[in-house]
Amino acid sequence: MTDTVRLDLHVHSARSIDGRVPVAVLVARSADVGLAGFALTDHNTVAGHAELAEAGRRRPELRLLPGVEVSTRDGHLLAYGVAAPPPPGRPLAETIAWVTDHGGEPVLAHPLRWSHGVGARLARSADVRALETTNGHNSPRANRQAAGIARSRGLAGTGGSDAHVLPDLGRAYAEVPYEARSVDEILEAIRRGRVTAGGTPLPLGDRLRQLVRTGRLRLGRGLRPI
């Protein structure tokens, strides 16, 4: 795709239950790692949206997309362009309908990940226009499987680092048309399939360390999943 910019469409901040990095730091770092902006997708909260909007006023050259990663009953869903978090714990189809009814765009997050993915059956049938096909914390195999399903359905593939710590920011990304600057224009690019996924997942050793970190965080929550 020519005349594009890179956006990391899956980023967590310190406002997320398992994030560490303040929104302002993510904004300050994004251009340094080759990004034109990112989507803030904290788990089940939009608490960072006000900070994101303020950062956008200070840095108008960046494309900062409000979003949320919601925990549905069937797995995680990225919801872009919504002002409130969808109710967690509801069926995937119901949550997708909630997002579209509220003017947002739903995208299946890491659909083939063994934990928190919706799985192949729902990835093949969910009423969405894009799947996350390059996730920076996925295994290469899970990303390939997601990309294969997206191709078979004629859906767009998006990319995001799934960053919870600063070094991961921009590891995976989506390339969007250069002219897509506003939130509505970025959402329309996703809807029309004018995005492509790029980047790489974490190396095996880093993925194992991430699993250990996730396990510790889950123990701290009394083994409750996000």
pLDDT at position 208 is 72
Strands 196-199 and 172-177: antiparallel
Task: Provide the phi-psi class of 224: left if phi over 0, else alpha when psi is between -120 and 50, else beta.
Answer: beta
The per-residue pLDDT of the chain, averaged, comes to: 93
The tokens for 224 are: 């409750």
Task: Report pTM.
Answer: 0.92
| Domain spanning 4-220: CATH 3.40.50.970 | no
pLDDT in tens, 33-91: 999 999 999 999 999 999 999 999 999 999 999 999 999 999 999 999 999 999 999 99
| Domain range annotation of the chain | 4-220
